[in-house]
Structure 1
């Protein structure tokens, strides 16, 4: 018997709760699973992700495996890759039945994001073309117990400015993972002569996130899409 609309909504809420709680114990994801399925194309990746998110208890390591297993093929993703002269763009590939978002981000020469969080969601970032550089920062006023590091006896980060904790280059077919317990980050294309393209998965999806300035001033930013399914969205449309 098919689930009723109410049952489906309850199931999705349960999954979101589980995924947000899971950010507290996923610290690093690097290698594909030894016995995970193969992913031969972008459409295979999307289908495998939909299967994985059918369960309330999503295996984040499996999601990472699927993202790693897909090998970039420009013929498959080129139709989603929409560039803007002035800023990086966020282009929706698949809405994941409301359980995840899969996007392609296009970075012009020297383009970069602000320092931001991920609204207690999981963020996977896979390089499809070129290179990106990720800078990570302490999440202000977040306890050391939450982010797995020790700073002060009381567990609080005592700082009046953003504290950088690492910088990592991301090359083609690499996958980077972050959640709010691991910190904030800023992503940029370090090249001033080549563009970059990256594939991002967010679970659960979110409509807003927090953006931080060097003096720790925090603002709320609305998450929008430059295009959806290869088609340019109307101005200011999410």
Structure 2
């Protein structure tokens, strides 16, 4: 992922996935928050429809801030047992990171510092590669049906990186 100067991700969890982040260029900060309490209305909405729940959460509490830099600590690990996080580029230079999710990231909760929370789900691969244009059909058959994150939709839904 590329992080322009002053850019930051939304505050988010990783559902059932673990996340490893490594800096490949520049410096980013990972801000970890304690997982807040979710209101009953949100939990009930998520139980009925795990893909579109919207609600409220308790106050977000910062528990750690780590500077990740190619000249020092280069990586971090996150999962929901540790908490939720945001990645920030506090510098005036471009930064780039590599993210690995296992199992693949299918959905996440997006939190706001104002106490709102909503679910963002990966969409099914709608690009289809059965015509063979620009991809190996064998690879596409393995990817077909797996979720991908629709960045445009994420940006419209409030889960966008901001500057």
Larger Rg: 1
* 1:169 paired residue number: 67
Per-residue deviation at 1:202?
A: 0.2
Q: How many residues align?
A: 110
Alpha-carbon distance in structure 2 between the residues aligned to 1:139 and 1:171? 26
Q: Which SS does the other structure have where 2:23 is aligned?
A: strand
TM-score normalised per structure 1: 0.42
Distance in 2, matches of 1:164 and 1:201, equals 23
The TM-score, its normalising length taken from structure 2, stands at 0.60
- 1:175 CA displacement: 1.3
1:203 pairs, out of 78, 85, 102, with 102
Structure with greater helix share of residues? 1
Structure 2, unpaired ranges of 5+: 39-56, 126-134, 136-149, 155-163
Q: Answer 1 or 2: which has greater strand percent.
A: 2
Secondary structure (helix, strand or coil) at the match of 2:118 reads: strand
Q: What is the CA-CA distance between 1:237 and the residue it aligns to?
A: 8.9
- Find the counterpart in structure 2 of residue 184 from structure 1: 84
Q: CA deviation at 1:116?
A: 0.3
**Root-mean-square deviation (Å):** 2.9
Give the secondary structure class of the aligned counterpart of 2:58. coil
State the distance in 2 between where 1:139 and 1:222 align.
Answer: 19
Higher relative contact order (CA 8 A, sep 6+): 2
